[in-house]
Amino acid sequence: MAFFRVEKRFSEKSGVNQTLPNFRSLTASLIAGYKDAASLSGVGYSNISGIFLGIIRKRILGFSKSLTCNLVRDDDYNAISAFYLELIRLIYFVLATDTKSRNVDLAFQSLILLYENVKWYDPVLNQVFSRTAEDGFVGVFLKSKDIINLGKSSLEFVSSLIAIAYISPFFRIPQQSLIDFWKAAKISLHEKFSDDFPYFEAVSLLFYIQDRQEYSSLRNLLYRDLRQSIKGGGLTQSTSTFMAFLDYSACPYFDETKKKSLVEEAWLAVHNQPPKDKSKIGPALTALAELPWFVDWSRKDLDIRKALFRKELQSVY
């Protein structure tokens, strides 16, 4: 692929007057070729998107470790900026044609590699990179689809959400968009499995919003929906509700009053009557919150890049 031959140019000393590659033209040619291949009889985007993103990732892995180390800052700053921003544009274009889980992983593996490569090179370039990655995320997930379709791709959305939060820590999605997404995810889950609590979406949203005040309504909604699911018998019938109950009990983003309320509802669900001695609620909560269950809320061992690459070892791939 001609677009990636430019990587060699950055590993050599260059003169100020050297003509820079036309990255926009190269990207346009690649996109045109991608469209042409997908339009062939019996092909379609779903059959080639993963291959295309895999090639991009392989090329980025090949040059990202040494690229910025060999740059002549004054000569190559504009070149590296243009090159990286066009790569983001290309990655998001392909992802927009097919947002299945494998493609999301490949796309954000590439974006994270680029981000880690550039973040120590120049603060301004890092900010431009992060902002462009934000715009691409919004374009793929929050503009091109209605909220119901986003609910049907809920796992892909929350995976992308956690990855974009790593690339751009100060990026904030409007609370109402996340509330609408949560409601759509619940509808989609109920239609597929007659379950009423999307566990993975819930803990991912909590992981993203943390205890930020601007997301208080969403946080309260996630709490109320779990409480309602426990009341409806979900604790003993739904693995999702049971796992969420354990993780919520250890989650630092809920106050003790809310957690005790969940424990009391769980007690009622199991024993068919409220606890006779409510003083037992506190020790029960303490025992539940002593260690992380399925989510490590401390984020101590969190490595988004390793997690994404590790997923490829799973048999689903």
Determine the straight-line distance between the first and last CA of the chain, rounded to whole angstroms.
25
CA–CA separation, 67 vs 65, rounded Å?
Answer: 6
pLDDT at 71 over 60: no
Is this prediction's pTM over 0.85?
no
Q: Give mean pLDDT, residues 257-267.
A: 92
CA–CA separation, 154 vs 124, rounded Å?
Answer: 33
CA–CA separation, 76 vs 175, rounded Å?
Answer: 40
Burial letters 136-155, b for 16+ CB under 10 A, else e = bbbebbbeebeeeebbbbbe
pLDDT at 171 over 80: yes
Distances (CA, A) of 113 to 233, 243, 304: 44, 32, 11
Q: Using pLDDT thresholds of 50, 70 and 90, give the confidence band for residue 242.
A: very high
Backbone φ and ψ of 146, nearest 5°:
-80, 170
Q: Is 311 exposed, middle or buried (0-12, 13-18, 19+ CB in 10 A)?
A: middle
Over the stretch 174-209, which tens digit does the pLDDT of each residue have? Answer: 999 999 999 989 988 888 777 789 999 999 999 999
Q: Using pLDDT thresholds of 50, 70 and 90, give the confidence band for residue 239.
A: very high
CA–CA separation, 89 vs 129, rounded Å?
Answer: 11
Contact 201, 177 (CB under 8 A): no
Dig out the tokens for 264 from the structure.
């009391």
Q: Which residue has the higher pLDDT, 17 or 149?
A: 149
